[in-house]
Structure 1
């Protein structure tokens, strides 16, 4: 899987970086090429701002973690990224609720 970097002006073929050649190469040059998939790139990151992610039942107990930041994609979607007590960072898109700053979990 590789990101499309440009489009061939005459044919419209997707071009990807060939690290061995150090140049752009049409995806159709690859014998194992099967298809393109639309993906939204991360274009910005914003601080968590005191927001928290909460799961009602994570491993048998409720869990709330601070949102480290928000990753904003090219389609304008913001995905929350959390950090746990051990420093593990991951997406919180499947959290049961996102809690705003200053709001008590019991009020949410």
Structure 2
């Protein structure tokens, strides 16, 4: 799963502008240095936590939302509305769970017809359970 600002446990991401050898990127803030209060990120090459200020291309921190609760799908289904007036909606997928974010967002966790499970921020049409 790709980094999403809805799945950041600290609620912060560090933004890096890039260098001659590395493209711009964002990294999840993994914690805070207890002595200096500086944000820490995991350096995947060294396998250690490093202060963001150790990176010459560190730009800034951005607030991200956090998942604060998970609710059962409750029989709901989700699909994506067709783009054009005559385009059909996507196939419906069962909602297995709802992720509730710290900013009040509700993100469906769905399963497609091939059995792949994941979040989908593009789903924008929801059907209640059959009664």
**TM-score, reference length from structure 2:** 0.59
1:87 shift after superposition: 1.3
What are structure 2's unaligned runs of at least 5 residues? 1-25
For 2:127 and 2:56, locate their aligned partners in 1 and report how far apart those are by CA, in whole Å. Answer: 48
- CA RMSD in angstroms, aligned pairs only: 2.8
1:10 shift after superposition: 5.9
Aligned match for 1:81, one of 109, 112, 121: 109
What are structure 1's unaligned runs of at least 5 residues? 104-108
1:30 shift after superposition: 1.2
Asked if the contact 1:53–1:92 (Cα under 8 Å) also holds between the matched residues in 2, the reply is no
**TM-score, reference length from structure 1:** 0.68
Secondary structure, counterpart of 1:16 in structure 2: strand
Give the total of aligned pairs.
Answer: 102
Matches within 5 A, 1:54-73: 54-57=79-82, 60-62=87-89, 63-73=91-101
1:101 shift after superposition: 1.5
Work out which of the two has the higher radius of gyration on C-alpha atoms and give 1 or 2.
1
